[in-house]
Structure 1
């Protein structure tokens, strides 16, 4: 736990504001609590936090102002039009500060997406949390602090500065993926309308099926399996944290897995976390479980759900399925003995083989991306969300944040570009009427586009690394992850050690000592001063439970991953503090 000195909150500075009539300053907001949500719209953990905060915003509508501070990771996220679309897409109902240069991010010493900072009515920082799962802690703090400030006269409730944007109606709204039906129609996951929509060959709406929450992936079951289980399509109901079965003839929808609540550590497979895509491979439905960086499977005949690959650590690490690291896998496409994956946060095209081995075709890690054709070891993508296997065995990649469709040829291990100028393409399917055409889901344009497979586009190309401040550190470094249970809770050690810390590095040689997994939230690291700049990958979690205990006690898991760019410098600080959560 880190006890902060009583410090003034820095001013809010950036390029501009969304969802409000004008610039907001700390003096505008004086007299109310201010919760700053540092987020970036590529990050599924940030999207989880948006949903976590909604009940809190409603409960303290007069006493609390939430302000999203958008601090982009990818180049595309710094585009103001892309940010405006994302604010609408994800239903952000509070003011958003556009901070493309990370000015406010640095002023508040944020180190991770997401980070939450609570400021009191007098303008002092009172708490900081990294990661998701902290809404209950902030609610507990407010339950203590609101009466205190009301009694002191420093709390002055007022209306919200939120102003809703104008939205033009469209048939599709932020569609995500599409599959072809046997009759030549297309089925589209219409995430912005919370529907699955059937379109005829001319693109006209045939029917809409509701009851979803931002569905993204669709899997058409083989006819024999569909007849056996009584539904035709598996839907990845992303924000609903479930897999749903859709019967095309009747429009009936049933829940196959998940209970609508987000998976947290210790939940087993009873709950899911943002399933993003689904496909049929090796007699199972494979699930891109983007929220926890894993691949799962569902056997529709038995209903059994299992983890198939990934440790839940975020990153790019190949090897056996049980040891591999993924990063927000968002697209799946089967091809014989290989399942192709679009691993969005590492801007990579990857695969898992029938033997369970995981490999990478294009991409190198969490912070490197770009737009470059050529040999696989030099080619670059930017946050791809979709993959489609083509008739010749090559793979079309919806290179979402580059606005392009790329083509990877496994035979030559080269990447080329089919089309550019698309608005966040997120999925694609071969045209049922013309196998020489790819129907691309152009998500941010709210439509489907057709791309000839014979097309070739020339790109100027660029390479980029996520630009975040590099932290100078000593070669022998004490890593401290701070955590304090929320008010009314205590550390939960009933079932063993209440915390876990995993530390790795890129490059691996940066860490001479201190890598691996342990239960203490402090660790001594020895870094190689000759390894150059690198990134410390830190994953921490801690459990807390109601202090009173007893039957029905509420228990919580607090967790976060950090990627901290570091540089070993003689005389630099010998301690690195990362706040998992706590009041200051």
Structure 2
């Protein structure tokens, strides 16, 4: 058993925050959970990797429901995410069925020495930290450790079975629940992806009167006349030459689905239903894994796909029935230039205007476009800068936009989601202005006559606005996440990964690990940036740069190591970090980042 290999036990710090959700207004303390295995999920609701983990954990929570208590620790990145009402909405939107601690000052985050969203921490029934892992793909390792803890603490008599502190909130009934995207059909009706109802809704042209619902409302992936979806988002009209009129980004299913508007029949067009983690990106549409497709747009004879889950753009060709990588490298950030070399950051909205494909990258609060094979950023300064500021695009700021819409004059409307605003960018003047404020998390907009019909997602309805613009001089913000002090000169960055119990690193087909390191600004790293197959890297840090961000992407492949197993079970663990750093003399000259296991990343609290 791995329990014999664990280091000296570290007491889990108490949970400190502003308040609790999903507990019936009761406070929860770790000391009250003695006898339970506690899984802390450090997340923030803007983060696509965090949303992936929510879905990964659902079967684990069910399997161990009488011994495991999952607690989401919400430590926000954006200002909007620190709003308690916004957090309450997100907990409902993403069907979080466990208690959530509101940690707006990142107090518990710091007490557990967390450096990345998402991070998972297991606490044993006696209140000690026994396992820490960052990123996605840790369910099998968690299942193994939890199973060991159950056996160990049942034998000791320190395991208490029974229900936990989760209290389901009272459900609310509305026609739409967190709608995501919308399109106008050829008949003039409005088609809306009703995300939290896992269905597609058709409304009259007034945007209110229900005509029909396509989908049973249950989470699933069934095709046919009684289809199911899982948090569908993007919609685009396509020429009906293959038996469907609309393509849907079925986000949590990692699929593209087609809808025949005449019959309401749904078919699966692309994806396997498995989330892409590594491997092929180009090939037959039903053989290639997708990852959280968030929006789609008919462009240049096919469907462009905002692949939010791995920070790339994809392309579905309905004639050849293939999927391919359109742009991006999977590194999260802003990098313009040739499409194959560009960095994106959770692209969440697309709109085609001739040969130009407009997009918004939510995590860099950026407006960008792809044209003639080149990516150009219009608004956006990086992963940690955002705000609500109009004016020249070089100085203007957005906050986690999810939608972009081409207007009649070729300007674009931006659904500036976390500013609760709709903005307008004019390419002729290079200026950003504000069309509307106090819109509850707009996520898309349609041009209907002289008006904009806006998907007000958190208000659960569509709202109409004039396209007239005003000017807002709001505040600029930086992510308040604490910086890590690092030393200038010779420096070591180490990604710590311990293969889960019963597995080993898989080097049958070459190196089993990969590490990519870049920085903002690029001159922060004088030597050592780039890609290697080792998880430890020697860098040289520039002493003339005082602040910056280290961008780290690591992955490791591991397989079961039973010699008798002819077909070992393999998995890929992957994590992205954006670590804000401050270059300080006499600071540590080594930075460990934990991807899986315990090793050096024990909590700093006592």
TM-score normalized with structure 2 length: 0.93
1:227-306 correspondence runs (5 A): 228-269=241-282, 270-306=288-324
Partner of 2:155: 151
Residue 431 (structure 2) pairs with residue 414 (structure 1): yes
Tell me the CA shift for residue 67 of structure 1. 0.1
Partner of 1:140: 144
Deviations 1:51-106 (A, max 9, x none): 00011101111111000000000000000000000000000000000000000000
Partner of 1:59: 63
Q: 1:283 to 1:66 in 2, by over 3 A?
A: same
Paired positions, count = 575
**Aligned counterpart for 2:505 among listed residues 472, 491, 501:** 491
Q: Within 1, Cα distance between the matches of 2:70 and 2:145?
A: 15
Deviations 1:11-62 (A, max 9, x none): 0000000001311111111111110000000001000000000111011111
Tell me the CA shift for residue 460 of structure 1. 4.0
Partner of 2:546: 532
Partner of 2:377: 360
1:303-382 correspondence runs (5 A): 303-353=321-371, 355-382=372-399
Q: Within 2, Cα distance between the matches of 1:301 and 1:551?
A: 39
**Aligned counterpart for 2:572 among listed residues 552, 557, 567:** 557
Q: Within 2, Cα distance between the matches of 1:153 and 1:5?
A: 21
Runs of 4 or more consecutive aligned structure 1 residues displaced over 6 Å after TM superposition: none
Q: 1:17 to 1:267 in 2, by over 3 A?
A: farther
Q: Is the 8 A contact 2:433 2:472 kept in 1?
A: no
Q: Within 1, Cα distance between the matches of 2:165 and 2:280?
A: 38
Tell me the CA shift for residue 319 of structure 1. 1.0
Q: 1:291 to 1:568 in 2, by over 3 A?
A: same
* SS in structure 2 at match of 1:439: strand
Partner of 1:440: 454
Q: Within 1, Cα distance between the matches of 2:146 and 2:13?
A: 21
Tell me the CA shift for residue 583 of structure 1. 3.7
Residue 35 (structure 2) pairs with residue 31 (structure 1): yes
Partner of 1:519: 533
TM-score normalized with structure 1 length: 0.97
Q: Is the 8 A contact 1:334 1:389 kept in 2?
A: yes
Structure 2 regions of 5+ residues with no counterpart?
216-227, 283-287, 600-606
Q: Within 1, Cα distance between the matches of 2:12 and 2:379?
A: 42
Q: 1:326 to 1:3 in 2, by over 3 A?
A: farther
Residue 22 (structure 2) pairs with residue 19 (structure 1): yes
Q: Within 2, Cα distance between the matches of 1:256 and 1:329?
A: 21
* SS in structure 2 at match of 1:490: strand
Tell me the CA shift for residue 3 of structure 1. 6.8
Q: Within 2, Cα distance between the matches of 1:186 and 1:91?
A: 26
Q: Within 1, Cα distance between the matches of 2:6 and 2:533?
A: 22
Tell me the CA shift for residue 4 of structure 1. 5.0
Q: 1:139 to 1:267 in 2, by over 3 A?
A: farther
Partner of 2:403: 386
**Aligned counterpart for 1:83 among listed residues 84, 87, 91:** 87
* SS in structure 1 at match of 2:576: strand
Residue 211 (structure 2) pairs with residue 206 (structure 1): yes
Deviations 1:104-135 (A, max 9, x none): 00000000000000111111111110101111
Q: Within 2, Cα distance between the matches of 1:71 and 1:99?
A: 5
Q: Within 2, Cα distance between the matches of 1:25 and 1:313?
A: 38
**Aligned counterpart for 2:179 among listed residues 168, 175, 181:** 175
Deviations 1:184-217 (A, max 9, x none): 1010011011011110123211111111111100
* SS in structure 1 at match of 2:295: strand
CA RMSD of aligned residues (A): 1.3
Partner of 1:568: 583
Q: Within 1, Cα distance between the matches of 2:410 and 2:418?
A: 24
Deviations 1:533-584 (A, max 9, x none): 1111111000100111533321010010111111121211111010000145
Partner of 1:221: 238
**Aligned counterpart for 2:170 among listed residues 151, 166, 170:** 166
**Aligned counterpart for 1:114 among listed residues 111, 115, 118:** 118
Partner of 1:48: 52
Q: Within 2, Cα distance between the matches of 1:293 and 1:244?
A: 21
Q: Is the 8 A contact 1:420 1:457 kept in 2?
A: no
Structure 1 regions of 5+ residues with no counterpart?
none
Q: Is the 8 A contact 1:175 1:446 kept in 2?
A: yes
* SS in structure 2 at match of 1:146: helix
1:398-477 correspondence runs (5 A): 398-431=415-448, 434=449, 436-453=450-467, 455-475=468-488, 476-477=490-491
